[in-house]
Structure 1
Amino acid sequence: MNHIHTAQYNFCTLFIGLFVACLTGPATAQETYRVKENIHYRSGVSDDTYIHERCVLDIYYPEDATGFPTVVWFHGGGLTGGEKFIPNELKEKGIAVVAVNYRLSPKVKNPVYIDDAAAAIAWVFKQIADYGGDPGKIFISGHSAGGYLAAMVGLDKSWLQRYGVDADKLAGIIDFSGHAVTHMTVRAERGIKETQPIVDEYAPLFHVRSDAPPLVLVSGDRELELLGRYEETAYFYRMMKVAGHQQVYLYELDGFDHGAMAAPGFHILLRHVNELTKK
């Protein structure tokens, strides 16, 4: 594998990558895909109407294939809003995509939404083989709040341990512009303003470790990002390196703000999924 430790993408680089992808087309163009929607990933809790409403996921997968990778995708929305969706950029790429809803603040408080993310990932580990996927090729990803959830669950092993899953079995964590410090909504629930960063056990930065799964960090343009998100991401990258992690990657997408950076980021996600699952 070609180890790229840092990279800064500009418009030209992205255009070339996307143009090549369009020319080559998906590697599995002859496959058919199915979607199963609103699968409950928590059992025995149907009497809780909010859990019944929000703790559901959709799975999009190649119907007649086996051994394919899976990307678990968490939507953004500041932990206060948002809705699951299958990103168009990940369709017909020979992979499964699991789009997850989770409970939201202020109806619930921290750490309920983190635990929901862990429960959904654990469901994928236990069920993906039934759909043809390889449990050894599960990636977790998301944008903004979704990236924060992916990083939290992937780095702090305690969340998946409670569901009998080892976080180190993840094939990779791909974080699109998620908080590296304690999330602003977690802080808001404590009365802390968004411009006052803290790092505690609810910050991915708190859990940097050398033995974590491969970690891909993608940020928008540092001058356009939200609340210093690029600098958070860059420091997260640096501390993972200092801790001795050997497979951490940092990308800055020139010209793209916090909302717009997700679409070009999928090119990076797919490249790393392909490289990390090569035989």
Structure 2
Amino acid sequence: MVFRARVVFFSLLMVVTTAFGQEGYILKENIPYYPETVRSQDQYLKERCKLDVYYPKDSISAPVVVWFHGGGLENGEKNIPEGLEEKGIIVVAVNYRMHPKVKHPVYIEDAAAAVAWVFKNISEYNGSSDKIFVSGHSAGGYLASMVGLDKSYLEKHGVDANKIAGLAPLSGHTITHMTIRKEMGIEGTQPIVDKYAPLFHVRKDAPPMLLVTGNRELELLGRYEEVAYFYRMMKVLGHPNVQLMELDGYGHIMVYPALPLIVNFVKEITE
């Protein structure tokens, strides 16, 4: 389903049923997601590869959103998006190593290690490993797509990517990320689809997907169009649950209005 959300209508999507939200949350910060044997070998990994878990203290088997921050794989910091707070959802905010201190595919490997940690540990925080959603904005959306579509990254941790309940990349590259292209000596205006592109890994059996971008005229270079092509190819393959939403009135910075869409997506899949 392609949906073009105009600003005058979007306020309706901001309404989330009170039954899905509840009071009483705990925030655990700076939890390492690599084992000590790995952390001891790399100081930058030890400093950077941590996550925060924000969870409702009285819930049982709550749904989970793993959130990757944006910043072009070059900057940014983990955060709990305000629009996901107090919605009955566990939010896991992840830091990962960044360019230029590391190069591809380290970013994706870190993202996969964090998601694998969630699968193996989220029950300790009242979460369900059957209700894990992976999301993020921009570079974070790209990482969410790569971890969910290229099964090889999670397989290294003994996790089947198809166990992810849903993927919700916000304005993420579906071609090879611009920073990875830069590392290859390729200009940002030259699109590439290789094994580091979500488009390379389109498949019918992928988890349900919610694709959200800003308005095509306000977005970053071709971002709506590449996401729309990804959507079309998933439909051609016969993927049963992929949605594309374009937010009129918003450019690339469209996290705040998109968060209620993620909450509704989680509800649709889990309730």
Residues 39-73 of structure 1: per-residue CA shift (max 9 Å, x gap): 00001123321001110000000011111100000
The answer to whether residue 2 in structure 2 is matched with residue 35 in structure 1 is: no
What are structure 1's unaligned runs of at least 5 residues? Answer: none
1:277 is aligned to 270
| Cross-structure match for 1:73 | 67
Aligned residues of 1:26 and 1:92 also touching (Cα < 8 A): no
1:221-260 superposed Cα distances (whole Å, 9 cap, x missing partner):
000000110001100000001111010000000010101x
Q: Does 1:53 align with 2:66?
A: no
Give 2:228's aligned residue: 234
SS at match of 2:133: strand
Cα offset, 1:276, TM superposition: 0.3
The residue type paired with residue 42 of structure 1 is Y
CA contact (8 A) 1:142 1:150 kept: yes
Equivalent in 5, 10, 21 of residue 9 of structure 1: 5
Aligned to 1:103: 97
Taking the TM superposition and a 5 Å limit, the aligned residue runs for 1:1-279 are 5-18=1-14, 20-21=15-16, 24-25=17-18, 27-29=20-22, 31-43=23-35, 44-47=37-40, 48-259=42-253, 261-278=254-271
- Kindly provide the amino acid, as one letter, of the partner of residue 195 in structure 1: T
Instruction: Using the TM superposition, give the Cα deviation of residue 271 of structure 1 relative to its aligned residue in structure 2, in angstroms.
Output: 0.5
- Relative to the length of structure 1, the TM-score reads 0.95
Q: CA deviation at 1:219?
A: 0.5
1:107-159 CA distance string (max 9 Å, x none): 00100010000000000000001111110000000000000000001001000
- In structure 2, runs of 5+ residues without a counterpart are none
Contact 2:176–2:196 (8 Å) recurs in 1: yes
Q: Tell me, in whole angstroms, the C-alpha distance in 2 between the residues paired with 1:208 and 1:64.
A: 38
Distance 1:274 1:126 in 2: 22
The answer to whether the 8 Å contact 2:13/2:261 transfers is no
Distance 2:193 2:21 in 1: 43
Q: Report the Cα offset of residue 26 of structure 1.
A: 6.2
For 1:270, the aligned partner's letter is: V
Question: Structure 2: which amino acid aligns with 1:14?
Answer: F
Which runs of 4 or more aligned residues in structure 1 lie more than 4 Å from their structure 2 counterparts after TM superposition? none
